[in-house]
Amino acid sequence: MAFISTRPSGSPSNSSLRPSAGASAASKKNNFAAAQALAKQKTYEKKAKNYKLPLGELAIFTQQLASLLSAGLPLVQCLEALQDQTEDPVFRIIIRDVRTDISQGNAFSNAVKLYPKAFNSLFISMVEAGEASGALAEILSKVANYFESSVKLTKKVKSAMTYPIAVIGLAIALVNVLLIFVIPVFASMFADFGAKLPAPTQMLIDLSDFLKANFFYLCIGAYGAFWLINKFISTPKGRRVKDETLVKAPIFGSLIHKISLSRFCRTYATLIRSGVPILRTLEIVAAASNKVQVEDACAEIAKHVSQGGQVSEVLASNPYFPPMMKHMVKAGESTGNVDGMMNKIADFYDTEAEATVASLTSLIEPMLIVFLGVVVGGIVMAMFLPIFQLGSVAGGLQ
């Protein structure tokens, strides 16, 4: 019996109506990737408002923006180009929003003010000065040079401090391993002698026992002390104590003082030369210094200048600023070249800071070698001292 098919000719089969399994899997994969990308984008947008841009990245952005503006490109087009080549996804969102804000007719300075942690007060004020004077590219180039010099000096200090910090950390870890794991082995061996151990050896064994029994509590105590110190430093009084103590520190105090003076002079000179009003300049210098001594001096200078006085008169009565700096600022005021003198002072203290870093590096290395030799060598000698005196120590066994 013949069966006649009722499916119209040319009509697709059920299998052809159903999407293939591969196409369905690819579609799901694409949807998941799109959802994941959208979630990342939203996360970046949430971070953008409170994103703190590293100074090195801000220096690169400022220099590139100044170069593009000097080439004659419109500001919106410059920001679009920088947005495309920026690798930081959060900063890319910030540039996009700033560009959109400017496209809607807002000023560049108002757009960057919405992101005060990404663009510091110095950058914002320089942009305002550039917009007012019509020389935005030139002023951005100046602030980029300032940022680059600050980053360069900071990197030199950090690189010089990395080696001693790493060695001291390694020494602390090594001593803890010896005290907690190695010395108890020697202590159990010496206990079989049955005689009184030398005082250095006994003290080391007692210290080892104390660390083993209280290591957890000591870690909690160290963390608690660290937390309390940080909390105290976050208060105005604690911050003042910290800054005054750091400047008076025997080895690093001079370096910290020189860097602070260089930053004060460089920031002041850059802002004044760019046409920022002096009272606004002093506000920015105080905020950028991160030192209570400079903040106090800036407040005093602002009060004195608003009453018709001069900057050098305040510096002459403030012990934080050295006599050379006071005389050079006074000479700059008499010749009408305060910003030029401030730049020369900043160059001088930058050179002094670099020389101090180099001398500290050469001084710290032998000090660390002596420190490691005394600590580790002292532990080894204390543990082998009973073996050297084996005859008298083992006499208790007879």
* Residue 30 pLDDT: 67
Task: Give tens-digit pLDDT for 101-119.
Answer: 999 989 998 999 999 888 9
Same fold, 55-147 and 256-351: yes
CATH topology of domain 55-147: Receptor-associated Protein (1.20.81)
Closest by CA position to 122, among listed 260, 289, 271: 271
Q: How far apart are CA 375 and CA 89, in angstroms?
A: 48
Task: Give tens-digit pLDDT for 286-319.
Answer: 888 888 999 999 999 999 988 888 888 888 888 8
Confidence check: pLDDT of 343 > 80: yes
Q: Stretch 376-389: mean pLDDT, rounded?
A: 81
CB 168 within 8 A of CB 364: no
Any idea where the domains of the chain sit in the sequence? 55-147, 164-246+372-397, 256-351
**Which tokens hold the place of 114?**
């919405």
* Residue 175 pLDDT: 85
CATH topology of domain 256-351: Receptor-associated Protein (1.20.81)
Which residue would you say has higher pLDDT here, 383 or 226? 226
Q: Give the C-alpha distances (Å, rounded to integers) separating 371 from 66, 169, 171, 208, 357.
A: 50, 12, 9, 20, 20
